[in-house]
A and B are shown apart, each in its own frame.
Chain A
Amino acid sequence: MITKRFSLQFIFALSISIFSIYLVFFLNPDGAIRILLNLVTFAGIYGLSAIGLNVHFGWTGLLNFGHASFMGVGAYVTLLLMPHAAGREGVVVTTGLPFFVALIIGILAAALFGLLLGLPAIRLRGDYLAIVTIAAAEIFRLLVRDLESITGGVYGIINYTENFQKYRPSFIDELSDNLGFSASQGWVCLAAWISIFFTVLFLKRLSKSPWGRALRAVREDEDAVRAMGKNAVWLKLQSFMLGAGIAGLSGVLLAFNYGSLESTVFIPLLTFYVWAIMILGGVGTITGPIFGSIIFWVIISETDRLAYLLFENANGQQLAGVRFLLVGVLIMFLMIFRPSGLLGKKEELLLDVK
């Protein structure tokens, strides 16, 4: 019975996602492919990040409000290990590691950052962890901004995309010629969705395993976990590292999608977007954030056109307002009518509004 309801939910989420994408075509008679690719790329990258956040919050109950910093550590470590240019003068670094080696080190660095942050903070009760993670993420961002000689500061890092683009399969170039989209974004998009695919496979394997079960037990009651002879702190640290590593990977993809990277990418708003996506998709699920992310990005990227339909003479600032309004209203409605998100189980409702 549970499987049946699940598949119904799945079809529901899929239909909404497909409808959202149809909406993009409807709203953009010209250039829909380009807009769609941009949207699906962002949806993939943010969806991946939200999948990582779900390991923290959905599986283990950890209130992490510094997710952007895990994405940032992954991105900066990976980019800085490869040939790139950084800073006001565009100091060129010509030597570096190959992309895949740098990527793996970047992911491990994000996980390690999770561990370092978790070691002092994770013993604290839920809301304290939230405060510590917000603060740590801001400290990270400001450090990156001020360490200009290494990170390029506000001038950022450039000339790094070739490290990754040189692996681009040729069929993407052919498709991009025919359909008129950017080949390099096509490759980032493909890489993002391949990453999602393997991350989901990996997490599916873990979620029903004894380890996944132990994380859920921690989420439910740490004291009872301890009373059963299990080291709750270590379980939380492991969860923190895994989710941070996934976020690190998504941060690298985000950097390649942008083409240049600076510290403002990792402002707290990024974290809150990822939270919104996770909540939309279903806290505690594995694939929910994917659908949540598609719908979220259709709204974010199409608000302009939706707003033009409503207010013909709107300016940029007003549009930004409408955008937040729509996301807010959407989450509000969802919390009222589908508090468990698109794919979440009612019985495992994690955002109990008591």
Chain B
Amino acid sequence: MLNNLISVKNLKKSFGGITAVDIKELSFIEGELTSVIGPNGAGKTTFFDLISGFQNADSGDIFLKEKNISNSQPYKIARMGMVRTFQLTKVFDRMTVMENLLFSGSDVNNDSFLRSILKLNSQKVYENSLKDKANEIMNDLNIGHMADSYARELSGGQKKLLELARAIINEPEILLLDEPLAGVNPKLAEDILSLIKKLSEDGITIVMVEHNIEAVMKISERVVVLAEGSLIADGSPNEIRTNKNVIEAYLGKDDE
């Protein structure tokens, strides 16, 4: 077990005068389910953008499996096994749910121009196995009946599910989830939550940004708290619940 599957050192990012992220040191442990919480604007999404390569840090280092990925392209980071979802869902609107999954699960070689021209039998076999996998995942997530619908026809909650499904079929070792429960009805939220728990039990390392504190406290093994870009607390859910800094950060926010 790696104690620092992902770790960042002196990571800084600011927009104009606003410091979005300023973290001295933070690591995530292999196999653990960690939640990142904090008031709106605390820098959680920016933190995800930085470690997944979607934004470049002003300074600092990011390590994934002990390899420095500070200026790596997002797709290269994803290929190393770290896959993310987006706070504002990004589904392929004018493709079917099935196509969304097939694309996401497809190996890069399978996508190649040459293989697609040659239409080798091996590609067909691969695609069929991918389809089976997609069907299985869709059924698990109760979107099997939507397989042939265009993704744009899905409800907000279903789009969240589709994004999750897409991440799962990509078979990540590490999953970064940005507010997987936002805008989802309570019943669906329950389902998504138990799915996340199951993925974690299957051995996937999960880092989740979430505002639903109840949910966070219920399933997380560790909670990390950000406020104004900085790390203000780090511990078990019980420790965080009673942490003075955390209470202040949240109450301070309310006072404004």
Closest beta carbon of chain B to A248's beta carbon, Å: 17
State how many angstroms separate the Cβ of A181 from the closest Cβ of chain B. 37
Does A227 lie at the interface of the complex (its beta carbon under 8 Å from any beta carbon of B)?
yes
Contact across chains for A205 and B117 when beta carbons are under 8 A apart: yes
Q: Which of B76, B85, B111 has the most CB of A within 10 A?
A: B111
Q: A209-B116, A213-B102, A213-B103 are in contact. Are A226 and B91 (CB under 8 A)?
A: no
For chain A, residues 313 to 354, give those with C-beta under 8 angstroms from any C-beta of chain B.
Answer: 347-350
**Chain B: which residue is nearest A231 at the CB level?**
B75
Q: How far is the CA of A78 from the CA of B74 in the complex (A)?
A: 40
Contact A206 B117 (CB under 8 A): yes
Interface membership of B244, Cβ < 8 A: no
Report B61-102 CB contacts with A as 1/0, cut-off 8 Å: 000000000000111101100011110001111110001001
A223 contacts B111, C-beta separation under 8 Å: no
Of residues 132 through 184 on chain B, the ones whose CB sits less than 8 Å from some CB of chain A are 150, 152, 166, 170
| B30 CB, min distance to chain A CBs, angstroms | 20
Interface size class of B (residues with CB under 8 A): 35 or more
Kindly identify which residue among A210, A231, A349 contacts B123, using a CB–CB cutoff of 8 Å: A210
Name the distance in Å between A262's Cβ and chain B's nearest Cβ: 35
- B206–chain A nearest beta-carbon distance, Å: 16
Tell me the bound Cα distance from A262 to B86 in angstroms.
Answer: 51
Which residues of chain B in 102-129 are interfacial with respect to chain A, using CB atoms and an 8 Å cutoff?
Answer: 102-104, 106, 108, 110-113, 115-117, 119, 123, 127
Contact A210 B90 (CB under 8 A): no
Binary B-proximity of A69-109 (CB < 8 A = 1, otherwise 0): 00000000000000000000000000000000000000000
A177 interface residue (CB < 8 Å to B)? no
Contact with B along A176-213 (1 / 0, CB 8 A): 00000000000000000000000000100110011111
Q: A221 contacts B90, CB within 8 Å?
A: yes
Chain B residue at smallest Cβ distance from A206: B116
Other-chain residue from A213, A228, A242 in contact with B170 (beta carbon distance below 8 A): A228
Looking at the assembled complex, report how far the CB atom of A201 sits from the nearest CB atom of chain B, in whole angstroms.
11
Complex Cα–Cα for A212 and B94 (A): 13
Contact across chains for A228 and B103 when beta carbons are under 8 A apart? yes
Rounded to whole Å, the gap between the CB of B151 and the closest CB of chain A is: 8
The secondary structure that dominates the A interface is helix
Q: How far is the CA of A232 from the CA of B110 in the complex (A)?
A: 15
Q: Are B86 and A228 in contact (CB under 8 A)?
A: no
A220 on the B face (CB < 8 A): yes
**Contact in complex: B86, A227 (CB < 8 Å):** yes
Given contacts A221-B92, A226-B73, contact A211 B78 (CB under 8 A): no
- For A230, the chain B residues whose CB sits under 8 A away are 75, 103, 108, 111
Tell me if A33 counts as interface (CB < 8 A to partner B).
no
* The one of A216, A227, A348, A349 that contacts B83, using a Cβ cutoff of 8 Å: A227
Query: In this assembly, does A120 line the interface, its C-beta being within 8 Å of a C-beta of chain B?
Result: no
Q: Across the interface, which residues of A come within 8 angstroms of B110, CB to CB?
A: 210
A226: contacting residue among B75, B92, B152, B166, CB under 8 A: B75
Please, which residue of chain A has its CB at the minimum distance from the CB of B113?
Answer: A211
Closest to B54 in A: A223
| A226 / chain B contacts, CB cutoff of 8 Å | 54, 73-75, 78
Binding site for B on A (CB under 8 A): 202, 205-206, 209-214, 216-217, 219-221, 223-232, 235, 238, 242, 347-350
Seen from chain B, the residues whose Cβ lies within 8 Å of a Cβ on chain A are: 52, 54, 73-76, 78-79, 83-86, 90-95, 99, 102-104, 106, 108, 110-113, 115-117, 119, 123, 127, 150, 152, 166, 170
The 3 A-B residue pairs with the shortest CB-CB distance, nearest first, are A209-B116, A211-B116, A229-B78
